Amino acid sequence: MLNGRDRQLRQITWDAYSQLSLPDKAPYLNNGRRPYHVLLAQQFDRQTLDELGMLATSIRRIAKSKAGMQFLQDLLCHKRAMLYFTQPSSRTFLSFYAACQIIGLSPAEVRDSATSSEMKGEAPEDTLRTFSSYFDLLVMRTPKPGFAERIAWLLSNTERPVPIINAGSGKDQHPTQALLDIYTLQRSFEHLGGIENKNVVFVGDLGRGRTVRSLSCLLTLYPGVKQYFVAPSELQIGQDVLDQLDAADVDYEVSYDFENVIPETDAIYMTRLQDEWDKGENDATKSDNSQYFLKPEHLDKMKNTAVIMHPLPRRDEIDSRIDVDPRAVYWRQVRNGMWIRVALMASIFGKVADEIFNFYELNM
Ligand code: NCD
């Protein structure tokens, strides 16, 4: 798995790497255009997103038959993956677990660092280095921002580097959620001219929602997309995200009026209050935010072609009566996540992605 790009991560000090801007980190993480470590939304370009979407669709179709599934499960049957999830997760964890099974990777799991030698005072870096010795891929979810990057750098500077996938880090990044959101948008707008020129509104806890931060970045790769950020002022999107949009010359609007934005939008991306980050001092998040909830009476105001998305889990921000509306795609989003994660793992083990495309061309 050692490759040209990864050798560059080997050659840079941690201090120098951590001072780079997010876009400048990208070449250290990718292997040519394909991802090697998957840590940041900023490491993807448009062509890679298109290729991942095509790969996910090929995999989805191949997996429908027993012969197809057998082909897929043979691809990485000689590799093992560790799912290191020390922050609550069942959806993303199981999505990766199922994705591993589809492509033949044997998954193992650590769900609680309290069961490891970290309890004996071992540095988490040492724990991860030990674990990595047994595996060929690490998938990590941690509450610590930047920890997955740190481990990627650390392992790249050992004799046995393995790729790392960030399955959610702190409040900052959730790149694989952004990939599944993009795949869902690609599929939803397939016959409507693609994602280009669509209006996307993010609603809810935008200040602490890592899915919003990552998806907002990927959407900058689609010309003509306008982004709206609708939230109470305490939960509004961070200035760093807006700076990123300014730098990419992307049209956006920060708004406090959900009802007015609804008729304009092609995709409504709802999020829940992320109050697990509260330490009691942020009373604003305890106030009534129901004006930022999507309710059945809003449906008539929405475009017929619009989609309603949510990374899940949801609380009250989408009324469950909306689930039957054909524009509600959040359950489809979940399943898309499994397929795009298979595609991502195939892409990391590059030759495997080519084998899938070849199989698809010959057999489908
Ligand atoms: C999200 C997360 O963990 O950031 N969940 C997920 O992975 N689908 C969103 C959330 O927890 O609200």
For the Cβ of 169 lying below 6 angstroms from any atom of ligand 1, the answer is: no
Give the integer Cα–Cα distance in Å for 230 and 204.
Answer: 7
What is the CA(168)–ligand 1 centre distance, in A? 8
Q: Residue 324 CB: number of other CB atoms within 10 A? A: 7
Predicted confidence band of residue 1 (pLDDT cuts 50, 70, 90): very low
What is the CA(312)–ligand 1 centre distance, in A? 6
Check pLDDT > 70 for residue 220: yes
Examine the residue annotation and report whether 120 is marked as an active-site residue of this protein. yes
Encoded tokens for 295: 């309710």
Residues 6+ positions from 114 with CB-CB distance below 8 Å: none
Share of residues in the chain with pLDDT > 90 (%): 85
Give the integer Cα–Cα distance in Å for 33 and 30.
Answer: 6
Helix or strand (DSSP H, E) at 270: strand 267-270
Cα four-point dihedral sign 315, 212, 33, 19: negative
Examine the residue annotation and report whether 141 is marked as an active-site residue of this protein. yes
Q: Where are the domains of the chain?
A: 4-173+337-363, 175-275+288-334
Give the integer Cα–Cα distance in Å for 195 and 189.
Answer: 6
Beta bridge partners of 253: 228
Pick the CATH number of 4-173+337-363 from 3.30.210.10, 3.20.20.70, 3.40.50.2000, 3.40.50.1370: 3.40.50.1370
Tens-place pLDDT, residues 12-48? 999 999 999 999 999 999 988 899 999 999 999 999 9
Examine the residue annotation and report whether 91 is marked as an active-site residue of this protein. yes
CATH number of the structural domain 175-275+288-334: 3.40.50.1370
SS3 252: strand
Examine the residue annotation and report whether 198 is marked as an active-site residue of this protein. no
Find the farthest-apart pair of alpha carbons in the chain and give their distance in angstroms, rounded: 60
SS3 66: helix
For the Cβ of 204 lying below 6 angstroms from any atom of ligand 1, the answer is: no
For the Cβ of 29 lying below 6 angstroms from any atom of ligand 1, the answer is: no
The edge-to-edge listing of strands for the beta sheet with 226-230 is: 252-255, 226-230, 199-203, 267-270, 307-309
Beta bridge partners of 30: 35
For the Cβ of 161 lying below 6 angstroms from any atom of ligand 1, the answer is: no
Examine the residue annotation and report whether 92 is marked as an active-site residue of this protein. yes
Ligand 1, atom 1: nearest CA belongs to which residue? Answer: 311
What is the CA(276)–ligand 1 centre distance, in A? 12
Tens-place pLDDT, residues 278-320? 876 555 566 788 999 999 999 999 999 999 999 999 999 999 9
Residues in the chain: 364
The answer to whether the beta carbons of residues 35 and 44 sit under 8 Å apart is yes
The answer to whether the beta carbons of residues 199 and 226 sit under 8 Å apart is yes
Give the integer Cα–Cα distance in Å for 1 and 327.
Answer: 42
Of 211, 275, 276, the residue with max ligand 1 atoms within 8 A of its CB, to mutate for a pocket test, comes to: 211
* 4-173+337-363 and 175-275+288-334 agree in CATH topology: yes
Residue 121's pLDDT is what? 82
For the Cβ of 312 lying below 6 angstroms from any atom of ligand 1, the answer is: yes
For the Cβ of 168 lying below 6 angstroms from any atom of ligand 1, the answer is: yes
